[in-house]
Structure formats: C-alpha cells, structure tokens
Amino acid sequence: MLPPKTWRLAIGCAGLLTLAGLALRIPLLLQVVNDGEAAIIEALPACIGIVLLAIACLRFLLKRSAGGMLFAWTAMAFILGLALLPTFVLSFWPWIATVIACGGAAAGFARANGDAANS
C-alpha cells in the first residue's frame, strides 16, 4: 500500500492533468451551446464539475481538508454531465475526471474515517 502522501500527490496531480485535457474540451462545449445543439442547463453540470475538480485537487495538494464530499460532488456533476451531453461522452477526459473524482472521494472518506492506511 502506498503512503498517504503519495496517494494525495497522485490524485491531485492526475486531477490537474485531467483539467488540462478538459480545458481543450471547453471551446467545443461552448460551440455546442452556441449552435443550439445543447441547452445551457445541460452544459452546466460539466462546467460545475470542472470547477469543483480544480478546487478539490488544489485543496488535496495543499494538504487542506478537501475531504471526500467535495470529490463526491465532483463525480456526481461529471456523471450528470456525461448523461446530459452526448458530445461530452465521446471525450476521454470526462471519464478520467470521473474516475479521479471517485478515487479522491474514496481517499477523502477513508482519511476522514481514520483509516490507518490513509491517515
């Protein structure tokens, strides 16, 4: 089992790299909304997920108590975004962001519960 500091660094860095990949999808997302193929309300969960992932990963890297709940909300926002936007599903990055958010939630909840491996 990896030390807790390694898990924090791995999840935080992977999340920030995923944000870089998601930044490439934002112009396409805006174009889909501007063309009328998707409503703003359908794109909102994806945008909220991107912002929440940035906050959660930075807090995780800065050793703030990001906790699992912020990552859980991030995962739910990405899952809702994947369900509402068909063009978002075709991209690799939202899927990776969802997996990272679930991993961050698991690590955060395990740490909050006093798990010896993650405390």
The DSSP secondary structure of 59-90, one letter per residue, reads HHHTT---HHHHHHHHHHHHHHHHHH-HHHHT
For residue 118, what pLDDT band results from cuts at 50, 70 and 90?
very low
Contact 42, 85 (CB under 8 A): yes
What does the pLDDT look like over 53-111, one tens digit per residue?
999 888 888 876 667 888 899 999 999 988 888 777 788 888 999 999 998 888 878 76
3-class DSSP state for residue 92?
A: coil
Query: Which residues are CB-contacts of 3 (< 8 A; sequence separation ≥ 6)?
Result: none
- CA distances to 54, 55, 83, 101, 108 from 58, rounded to whole Å, are 6, 5, 26, 13, 14
State the amino acid at position 72 in one-letter form.
A
- Ranges of each domain in the chain: 25-112
